[in-house]
Amino acid sequence: MTAKQAEQRAAELRQIIEEHNRRYYVLNRPVISDFQYDVLMQELAAIEKKFPHLVTAASPTQRVGSDITKEFVQVGHKYPMLSLSNTYSIEELREFDNRVRKGLDGEPEYVCELKFDGTAIGLTYLDGRLHQAVTRGDGQRGDDVTVNVRTIPSIPQQLRGNDFPHEFEIRGEIYMPFLAFERLNRERDMEGEQPFANPRNAAAGSLKLLDSNETARRGLNCFLYYLLGDQLPADNHYECLQAAKRWGFTVSEHTRKCPSIEAVFDFIRYWETSREGLPYATDGVVIKVNSFAHQRRLGFTAKSPRWATSFKFKAEQAVTELLSVDFQVGRTGAVTPVANLAPVLLAGTTVKRASLHNADQMSLLDIRLHDWVKVEKGGEIIPKVVGVDLNRRPHGSEPFRYITHCPECGAALVRDEGEAKHYCPNDAHCPPQILGKIAHFISRKAMNITAGEATIELLFRNGLVKNIADLYTLKKEDVENFDKWGEKSAENLIKSIADSTGTPFERVLFALGIRYVGETTARKIAAALRSIDALAQADREQLLAVDEVGERIARSILAYFSDESNREIIARLRAAGLQFEAGAQVRFSDALAGMSFVITGTLSRPREEFKALIEAHGGSAGNTVSPKTTYLLSGDKGGAKLDTARKLGVKIIDEEAFRELIGVKN
Ligand code: IVH
């Protein structure tokens, strides 16, 4: 490469990278994978290394820091992050106590704590300053989420006092209080985003956000419960926690020393019901041997300490009367029976409705109207009916008769072989299915159009949007006179719809809402078949040849495209400018123009990534080695293709040689 060529290519690469930065950070709509992005950066870095005079301050390679780190850096744990053994009964706990006493040849003192239901974190402090915060990960290595953890007000950046060790780690649980959780889900609902299922998921998700400002807004909190290091301030767990409290950490005030297992039982019995009044989620009690000398004698198994265990609370239950049953029709047409209950207090909230799952479950439990039913709130926020109190069944009650027709549109329900749920087949005209389809279409992972459920409902009720294609003919004048709207919000909506036409094919495919075609399947289909036309024409065998596509998905795709109204909608969307072909926007270089590749063996990344890379550099990738194949790219454990390539004299290259071909050498 001459200096002149290098200069040209560097400029080209910067432009491509900037464009992908914009798509990733500004539009939130990347069209290449992180791997492909890294490869571009590596190529640029390789050029700049060879021709240092080309390095400029503005080059993307020079901008290190939070705005170009897409994922978190992995860090090894100094002490592995183990889990706790579980016990579910008082008997099992007695056995734990017996094992402990046998191991110690004496009487242990226990410390009881609540088991907080959040996500574990390890914080390292150096000279009293927060140095690093790492998630549990696989127990050996976790994600460095320090930037996000620094936004949690209850985690001290600087410790108080002067009796803390020069270096130590403290572990705890990051959690989201119920109030913050409910606020977050309300906001998400309004923005048309999927709500979090429970505070634990919400806490874990918020900790892994790429934007720390957003983490800061989420109202996270943290309880610390475990100190590790060489020079701890005491020889037992309880006093270490008291020291941690003095240094400024939040240690739960509900931590108790228990002189015997009987005292542990008392603690458990108390919290089994009292936890309902706590403003955060707990799922049990943790029991730890207090003395460090005792802990050392008991040691660890491969997975957990022998000096600690947890007692899991049973999901909270309530018993109440079943007043009536509603049937909700979801966006896919799936029918869910929902119980209307006499209001009852459960886990801190009044419950009036609960899921009844499906027809089978209802008949299995023999649930009848006006039965007294047991309602349970597990980890999930939606309560479910789990059983019936037969002693309180009213006289003369009859088995429940499941509906046969859709409560929304009257169509006869169908139930496919092997499916638990009934479906309303009238997907083109059943209102909740239409609304659901539109809501799915605009959602963030699909077309990312910023409108909430309420807006969709408004557009639908006013007859403006009856299907997803109608969105693209919407005009500002149509909506600006809605109650509480105005020019600005109307403009924003129209702009967001127009912007969505740049969404890459794989996401458009996901957005169409073909039954069983989720995000991953859509990506695989887009990578394999490349266009909506190829997909629409594909027969059963061609569909089954696609990774992830089985009989059920294939049947659903065939049914979708055999429906005239779906084909019509696609035609209209195409006219509106939506992307119906894969990878059209990605071109990195012509380095591989005219070359054809076949891949075999295990590479450092999935094959699809390499295929995409080959195509982005102008080459083509196929599945069978022939005399026309330019290169066989072979990873570890290449198979029969290696033999064929050798026989045909096709050149075999490894990943490193491939990287050289596309100019990435470091
Ligand atoms: S102590 C080696 N104490 O439960 C002992 N863990 O199932 C380390 N947890 O990974 C854990 N509350 O995320 C401990 N008071 C508490 C806890 C607690 C919640 C979590 C923690 C741990 C998991 C084990």
Is residue 402 assigned to a domain? no
| 159 and 82 inside one domain | yes
Give the per-residue pLDDT at 29: 62
Which domain CATH number covers 604? 3.40.50.10190
| 52 and 97 inside one domain | no
Is residue 68 assigned to a domain? no
Give the per-residue pLDDT at 484: 76
- Confirm or reject: Cβ of 203 under 6 Å from ligand 1: no
Q: At what angle do helices 199-207 and 178-190 cross, to 10 degrees?
A: 80
Which domain CATH number covers 52? 1.10.287.610
H helical segments located in 538-578: 540-544, 551-562, 564-575
Which domain CATH number covers 186? 3.30.470.30
Is residue 301 assigned to a domain? yes
- Confirm or reject: Cβ of 286 under 6 Å from ligand 1: yes
| 455 and 547 inside one domain | yes
The sheet carrying 631-634 orders its strands as: 620-622, 596-600, 631-634, 651-653
Closest-lying ligand 1 atom to the alpha carbon of residue 252: 15
Is residue 321 assigned to a domain? yes
Residue of 78, 115, 421, 475 marked catalytic:
115
Give the per-residue pLDDT at 453: 81
Ligand 1 probe mutation, 84, 114, 285, most atoms within 8 A of CB: 84
Is residue 413 assigned to a domain? no
Residue 400 structure tokens: 């429940």
Alpha carbons within 13 angstroms on the beta-carbon side of residue 182 total: 9
| 289 and 348 inside one domain | no
Dist. CA 583–CA 530, nearest whole Å: 8
Closest-lying ligand 1 atom to the alpha carbon of residue 308: 5
Ligand 1, atom 3: closest residue by C-alpha: 225
Give the per-residue pLDDT at 84: 92
* Burial letters 463-489, b for 16+ CB under 10 A, else e: ebbebbbbbbebeeebbbeeeeeeeee
Model pLDDT for residues 423-434, shown as the tens digit of each residue: 999 988 899 999
Ligand 1 probe mutation, 225, 237, 292, 311, most atoms within 8 A of CB: 225
| 111 and 228 inside one domain | yes
| 608 and 566 inside one domain | no
For the chain, residues with pLDDT lower than 50 are: 64-70
Is residue 96 assigned to a domain? yes
| 196 and 137 inside one domain | yes
Domain boundary at 42, 62, 82, which? 62
Closest CA to 102 of 297, 343, 251, 273: 297
| 271 and 197 inside one domain | yes
Domain boundary at 253, 282, 312, which? 312
Give the per-residue pLDDT at 337: 95
**CB within 8 A of 571, min separation 6: which ones?**
none
Give catalytic status of residue 377 as yes or no. Answer: no
Q: Label the pairing between strands 620-622 and 596-600.
A: parallel
- Confirm or reject: Cβ of 169 under 6 Å from ligand 1: no
Asked whether the beta carbons of 422 and 402 are under 8 A apart, the reply is yes
Cα 153 to ligand 1 centre (Å)? 21
| 472 and 604 inside one domain | no
Ligand 1, atom 23: closest residue by C-alpha: 83
Ligand 1 probe mutation, 310, 312, 313, most atoms within 8 A of CB: 310
Ligand 1, atom 16: closest residue by C-alpha: 115
Cα 324 to ligand 1 centre (Å)? 41
| 218 and 360 inside one domain | no
- Confirm or reject: Cβ of 305 under 6 Å from ligand 1: yes
Asked whether the beta carbons of 451 and 479 are under 8 A apart, the reply is no
DSSP state of 291: B
Is residue 97 assigned to a domain? yes
Dist. CA 119–CA 142, nearest whole Å: 12
Domain containing 27 equals 3-62
| 235 and 281 inside one domain | yes
Domain boundary at 282, 312, 342, which? 312
Alpha carbons within 13 angstroms on the beta-carbon side of residue 90 total: 10
Asked whether the beta carbons of 13 and 21 are under 8 A apart, the reply is no
Which domain CATH number covers 371? 2.40.50.140
H and E: helices and strands count for the chain? 24, 20
| 471 and 518 inside one domain | yes
Is residue 564 assigned to a domain? yes
Ramachandran area for residue 174 (φ above 0: left; ψ -120 to 50: alpha; else beta): beta
Give the per-residue pLDDT at 544: 93
User: Count of domains in the chain?
Assistant: 5
Dist. CA 621–CA 597, nearest whole Å: 5
